[in-house]
Chain A
């Protein structure tokens, strides 16, 4: 059976950064991803990043992705693509991962494993919600920015978190008409800068509104929306129909934690981070020794924090193998300082608190 020191599941920003740090420390690192291309969500992201210089502020997501790929190549990290990982077991004192490649089952033994599987988009149920034209915002983002195809001409975006705001703006940039952005809460969920860009482009944002149904026989022709009162109940008579051929859903992300469940990790429930999260300590190590988690799997944030968490897991796993002992301490301190800086401001503070709660639960978890 194939063997490696550090195995990483997921080649998104978290997984790539984990591999880079592990390989720099001298470990043999190996990445498996089910996609045909590495980079995870990064290649869909064409806006400039926020934060400081170290966080590549002002640089666009896909450019960061290209840099990370080059670095993993230079460091000799092996990347296996088109290979979904479906199993994670204890085996012979180490851990074994099983995956599919070219229609065959394969397995690899690893001393340390880092789960960087990211998150999936949440669905929303409403009459007409299965009509062609209703799709995830991420699906639309992939279509316009990666495949360069418009999913429709007149679009309604549901959800005003950062994914909803950013994808709505990118649809406008790609030449679509975004007829409205709808948010059930009485306030906009994401950053104000993104929201004002959309408003300036002429797209109305309806807060305290939800989608009642999508209308159409074989595809979406229109959408009925309704105003909500303070207790999120529809206000009678406050309905309106908007013409649209596409409905994009940006109603949150849920961490892809199947492999962590399978391995027997302890979990905690933190709604602000997307639900059930595998408990981890300051080294990103879960309650299973030698099994680490980084990026959106530990709660959806953004690419910059995913990269930092990946670095942390990579260096900690290398350190646990007895490599890079002196450097590890400094690098970990630097990463935590940068990560705490990212988790400031009105939005960051909430995430900081949620993450602190997660770290706190690690102390209580039985090992």
Chain B
């Protein structure tokens, strides 16, 4: 959920672009991290671990823990908490360590 009205901070801008999460359109604000757009849309599971397929989501929010990595425009292991959205971006739940398209 987005925090539009706030007792201290000014009103927040409305989403102005669209990214795709596993094929589904998700509204996003230019410049915000991918993880913020996904949380706002209620997405919690960002990837599954390699061996046991356990779910993982955002944890540190500052690019240190790598729990939030997803496949972004075909590239796996992208830290979504520090990578800004771009109009039309394709974001996919990462399974295990991910695969590079050309390897």
Interface residue ranges, A against B (CB under 8 Å) = 34, 36, 46, 60, 120-121, 130-136, 138-140, 142-145, 147-151, 153, 173-175, 218-219
- Where chain B touches its partner, the secondary structure class is loop
List residues of chain A with CB within 8 A of the CB of B62: 120, 138-139, 142
The answer to whether A219 and B45 have CB atoms under 8 Å apart is yes
The answer to whether B60 and A145 have CB atoms under 8 Å apart is no
CB contact between A46 and one of B1, B8, B64, B84 (< 8 Å): that residue: B8
8 A-B pairs with the lowest CB-CB distances in the bound complex, closest first: A132-B57, A139-B61, A147-B36, A132-B44, A148-B12, A149-B40, A219-B44, A148-B3
A-B contact list, 23 entries, CB within 8 Å: A34-B63, A120-B60, A120-B62, A121-B60, A132-B46, A132-B55, A132-B57, A133-B44, A134-B59, A135-B60, A139-B58, A139-B60, A140-B61, A142-B61, A147-B33, A148-B4, A148-B12, A149-B1, A173-B6, A174-B3, A175-B1, A218-B45, A219-B44
The answer to whether A143 and B44 have CB atoms under 8 Å apart is no
* Distance, CA A75 to CA B85, complexed state (A): 33
Measured CB to CB, the closest approach of chain A to B10, in angstroms, equals: 10
The answer to whether A135 and B12 have CB atoms under 8 Å apart is no
Question: What's the A-B contact tally at a CB cutoff of 8 Å?
Answer: 90
Of all chain B residues, which has the CB nearest A84? Answer: B63
* Distance, CA A339 to CA B64, complexed state (A): 31
Of all chain A residues, which has the CB nearest B82? Answer: A36
Could you list 14 further interchain pairs (A-B, Cβ under 8 angstroms) beyond the known A121-B60, A148-B4, A151-B58? A36-B84, A60-B8, A120-B60, A135-B59, A136-B59, A136-B61, A140-B61, A143-B61, A144-B3, A147-B33, A148-B3, A148-B36, A151-B39, A174-B6
List residues of chain B with CB within 8 A of the CB of A135: 57-61
Is B23 close to A, CB under 8 A?
no
Measured CB to CB, the closest approach of chain B to A167, in angstroms, equals: 12
The answer to whether A131 and B3 have CB atoms under 8 Å apart is no
List residues of chain A with CB within 8 A of the CB of B58: 132, 135, 139, 151
The answer to whether B55 and A46 have CB atoms under 8 Å apart is no
CB contact between A149 and one of B3, B57, B64 (< 8 Å): that residue: B3
* Distance, CA A134 to CA B7, complexed state (A): 26
Of all chain A residues, which has the CB nearest B1? Answer: A150
Of all chain A residues, which has the CB nearest B4? Answer: A148
* Distance, CA A60 to CA B7, complexed state (A): 13
The answer to whether A149 and B46 have CB atoms under 8 Å apart is no
List residues of chain A with CB within 8 A of the CB of B6: 148, 173-174
The answer to whether B55 and A131 have CB atoms under 8 Å apart is yes
List residues of B (32-77) whose CB comes within 8 Å of A's CBs: 32-33, 36-37, 39-40, 44-46, 54-64, 67
* Distance, CA A132 to CA B47, complexed state (A): 10
Interface size of B in residues (CB-CB distance below 8 Å)? 33
The answer to whether A139 and B59 have CB atoms under 8 Å apart is yes
0/1 per residue, B7-18, Cβ < 8 Å to A? Answer: 111001000000
Of all chain B residues, which has the CB nearest A220? Answer: B44
The answer to whether B1 and A153 have CB atoms under 8 Å apart is yes
The answer to whether A130 and B61 have CB atoms under 8 Å apart is no
CB contact between B56 and one of A132, A173, A175 (< 8 Å): that residue: A132
* Distance, CA A92 to CA B45, complexed state (A): 50
Measured CB to CB, the closest approach of chain A to B85, in angstroms, equals: 11
List residues of chain A with CB within 8 A of the CB of B7: 173
List residues of chain B with CB within 8 A of the CB of A145: 9
Measured CB to CB, the closest approach of chain A to B88, in angstroms, equals: 20
Measured CB to CB, the closest approach of chain B to A249, in angstroms, equals: 9
The answer to whether A130 and B56 have CB atoms under 8 Å apart is yes
* Distance, CA A136 to CA B65, complexed state (A): 11
* Distance, CA A142 to CA B39, complexed state (A): 12
List residues of chain B with CB within 8 A of the CB of A131: 55, 57
The answer to whether A138 and B56 have CB atoms under 8 Å apart is no
Of all chain B residues, which has the CB nearest A218? Answer: B55
Of all chain B residues, which has the CB nearest A136? Answer: B60
* Distance, CA A180 to CA B7, complexed state (A): 22
Measured CB to CB, the closest approach of chain A to B58, in angstroms, equals: 6
List residues of chain A with CB within 8 A of the CB of B82: 36
* Distance, CA A145 to CA B3, complexed state (A): 9
